[in-house]
Chain A
């Protein structure tokens, strides 16, 4: 006969395992291990399968964002927009935070909290949605996305006026892209405002991120200002950014040519990984407040500790670390073979840089919360040990199984976006794209065939290189 105590012990063990399973053993990056390879190889259905298999309630927003992006590159633009629309709605609903979820995360891990998108992730939604509508030939709907982008950036700017530390959240690329969409849609006033906002935002971003003010922006400002008769506005801009806005002798844009905008998305954004860290707890540590203790331990981790301190226990916690994976391709030379029309790309968006800054900004808070959680588990373990071996074992199992860093981020986003613009005569053109590395050496040559150009119109092309 099996003793009742062993049966109960086995039951508790099963309970602990069930709980650990509920919390999930693998990190977000681990669950999506093959997603990036599937997308890079053009295996879109496999990529969608991977997202669906790994989907969980807390990661719902990310699942929708990843799905929307994969569908975008699979040329399933309607479905992509449906996914992004759901993501936007969910992002708005996630303004309301769950108290129980927060409490639960204090004893498990941060990945049990529903994921909320970062500013740079939110900024990419109207970009992809607008491109989807452009490809679908629905100009009015693309303009709606440009207005949404303007609204989003307006909110960011009002936040920046309260806290200048968020200045880089004013996404210059999104402002510039929406300006081009506005101009393409004939909304010159909105286009001018967006271009002006882009000029201001690039001026701030150039020092902090790996981006350059697009060399076409000055001419865009001048052209739209001329359309609207904005003399004073353009003079003010010229005074603020003398190198940006061309002088009045600049000839107007040739209305018999069309504008081609090539948006080259490069590689993959940095990913987060779970890093185990051992924090020393000294025998003479005596804190009533766990948060103060966590702050002290974080300081100990960063600044070291005095030799001879008696270490009572090594507290193991898992913290996220950002792994930067710069792509080989960093830009391109683009030519159309018509009358020497050629251009070099300029990096207009630095997603990796934005991600690094956001990560750095939140890291201290994450570290303290992680250590505080580790201390809570440590206290639980000590208490459980007093209750008996089974309880101690169960608490230990729970602590180990739930200790993982929150490695969630929009994995399929690119590392950066480079852009080239060509002014071409009407007709169908094949674009030769020489992909170059950081030193400007050609690493591959691709052709974008059948690019249709109409006089006085714009053609937007988004391409991804890995």
Chain B
């Protein structure tokens, strides 16, 4: 083999190796890693509604609900703590938002505060009534629960989530507004209104290496 042809073959080999390496890089080196993080760590991936937004809404609404003396006013007027039922929080946004998470947080804070009583939602009541009906047939008389002894709610919690989204090219501004009301079931007056606004700016670069 001459020195010149050896050099030519080496160059060809380098060329092929470079192409294969490039192709391998293109194919990507995938691998999954999982890390435990604090539940209040802020991790934004897609820019969509996430656990942080849900937590911020819950914290804000709870602090607003605690700050207003609507429950104490009711206690003073009626001599007993008010009973609240969580109604529907309508998602009127352009995103699929699980409202159960922050409403669950709110409900829990109401229960644990001891200021109000909270009754089961309509879906939960259906389940409870089925169980009560079952008891009429199968439970002993002394443990069987009676019909017509449910506690009627004084207030219903209602609300809605709205979004305004503005997009251009890779940039996006998302504005969320969550409004929650406590409505007196007797006269439809709103006893308390809470809200939380969240604004996000999502940018996407046009190119990556």
Query: Interface on A for B, CB 8 Å cutoff?
Result: 3-5, 8-9, 11-12, 15-16, 18-19, 22-23, 57, 85, 89, 92-93, 95-101, 104, 112, 140-141, 143-144, 147-148, 150-151, 155, 158, 384, 387-388, 390-391, 394, 398
CB pair A93 B204 closer than 8 Å: yes
Complex formed: what's the CA distance from A67 to B15 in Å? 39
Complex formed: what's the CA distance from A388 to B13 in Å? 11
Within the complex, which residue of B1, B27, B170, B205 is in contact with A4, where a contact is CB–CB below 8 Å? B1
Within the complex, which residue of A9, A98, A147 is in contact with B93, where a contact is CB–CB below 8 Å? A147
Within the complex, which residue of B20, B23, B95, B209 is in contact with A144, where a contact is CB–CB below 8 Å? B95
Complex formed: what's the CA distance from A147 to B93 in Å? 7
Complex formed: what's the CA distance from A93 to B1 in Å? 53
Asked if A19 meets B13 with Cβ closer than 8 Å, knowing A155-B167, A388-B5, the reply is no
CB pair B12 A390 closer than 8 Å: yes
Instruction: Give B34 Cβ to nearest chain A Cβ, in Å.
Output: 19
Which chain B residues border A23 with CB–CB below 8 Å?
23
Asked if A148 meets B94 with Cβ closer than 8 Å, knowing A12-B16, A388-B8, A394-B12, the reply is yes
Within the complex, which residue of A101, A112, A147 is in contact with B94, where a contact is CB–CB below 8 Å? A147
CB pair B204 A98 closer than 8 Å: no
Task: Tell me if B207 counts as interface (CB < 8 A to partner A).
Answer: yes
CB pair B16 A97 closer than 8 Å: no
Which chain A residues border B25 with CB–CB below 8 Å?
100
CB pair B16 A100 closer than 8 Å: no
Complex formed: what's the CA distance from A15 to B15 in Å? 10
Asked if A140 meets B9 with Cβ closer than 8 Å, knowing A22-B24, A97-B207, the reply is no
Which chain B residues border A148 with CB–CB below 8 Å?
94
Report, nearest first, the 5 A-B pairs whose CB atoms are least far apart.
A391-B12, A147-B94, A15-B16, A22-B23, A388-B8
CB pair B12 A384 closer than 8 Å: yes
Task: Tell me if B114 counts as interface (CB < 8 A to partner A).
Answer: no
Asked if A99 meets B209 with Cβ closer than 8 Å, knowing A15-B17, A398-B19, the reply is yes
Which chain A residues border B17 with CB–CB below 8 Å?
15
Query: Interface on B for A, CB 8 Å cutoff?
Result: 1, 5, 8-9, 11-13, 15-17, 19-20, 22-28, 46, 48, 90-96, 165, 167-170, 204-209
Which chain B residues border A394 with CB–CB below 8 Å?
12, 16
Which chain B residues border A12 with CB–CB below 8 Å?
12-13, 16
CB pair B209 A19 closer than 8 Å: no
Give 5 A-B contacts (CB < 8 Å), ordered by A residue.
A96-B207, A104-B26, A384-B12, A384-B15, A391-B15
Complex formed: what's the CA distance from A5 to B4 in Å? 13
CB pair A96 B46 closer than 8 Å: no
Instruction: Give the residue name and chain of the B residue nearest to A11 (CB).
Output: B13
Complex formed: what's the CA distance from A18 to B15 in Å? 14
CB pair A141 B96 closer than 8 Å: yes
Instruction: Give the residue name and chain of the B residue nearest to A112 (CB).
Output: B26
Which chain A residues border B167 with CB–CB below 8 Å?
151, 155
Which chain B residues border A85 with CB–CB below 8 Å?
96
Which chain B residues border A9 with CB–CB below 8 Å?
9
Which chain A residues border B5 with CB–CB below 8 Å?
5, 388
CB pair B90 A140 closer than 8 Å: yes
CB pair B93 A144 closer than 8 Å: yes
Which chain B residues border A104 with CB–CB below 8 Å?
22-23, 26
Instruction: Give the residue name and chain of the A residue nearest to B1 (CB).
Output: A5
CB pair A144 B91 closer than 8 Å: yes
Instruction: Give B95 Cβ to nearest chain A Cβ, in Å.
Output: 7
CB pair A388 B9 closer than 8 Å: yes
Which chain A residues border B95 with CB–CB below 8 Å?
144
Question: Given contacts A100-B26, A144-B93, could you give 6 more A-B pairs where the C-beta distance is less than 8 Å?
Answer: A19-B23, A147-B93, A151-B94, A155-B167, A387-B8, A394-B12
Complex formed: what's the CA distance from A98 to B169 in Å? 16
Asked if A390 meets B9 with Cβ closer than 8 Å, knowing A57-B27, A95-B170, the reply is yes
CB pair A387 B207 closer than 8 Å: no
Which chain B residues border A95 with CB–CB below 8 Å?
169-170, 204, 206
CB pair A97 B8 closer than 8 Å: no
Complex formed: what's the CA distance from A93 to B208 in Å? 11
Instruction: Give A56 Cβ to nearest chain B Cβ, in Å.
Output: 9
Which chain B residues border A99 with CB–CB below 8 Å?
207-209
Which chain B residues border A93 with CB–CB below 8 Å?
204
Which of B96, B165, B208 has the most chain A CB atoms inside 10 A of its CB? B96
Within the complex, which residue of B1, B26, B90 is in contact with A101, where a contact is CB–CB below 8 Å? B26
Complex formed: what's the CA distance from A398 to B19 in Å? 10
Instruction: Give the residue name and chain of the A residue nearest to B99 (CB).
Output: A140
Asked if A57 meets B28 with Cβ closer than 8 Å, knowing A140-B91, A391-B15, the reply is yes
Which chain B residues border A155 with CB–CB below 8 Å?
167
Instruction: Give the residue name and chain of the A residue nearest to B170 (CB).
Output: A95
Complex formed: what's the CA distance from A100 to B208 in Å? 8
Instruction: Give A248 Cβ to nearest chain B Cβ, in Å.
Output: 31
Complex formed: what's the CA distance from A150 to B136 in Å? 52
Asked if A391 meets B170 with Cβ closer than 8 Å, knowing A4-B1, A15-B16, A93-B204, the reply is no
Instruction: Give the residue name and chain of the B residue nearest to A398 (CB).
Output: B19
Instruction: Give the residue name and chain of the B residue nearest to A16 (CB).
Output: B16
Which chain B residues border A390 with CB–CB below 8 Å?
9, 12
CB pair B207 A391 closer than 8 Å: no
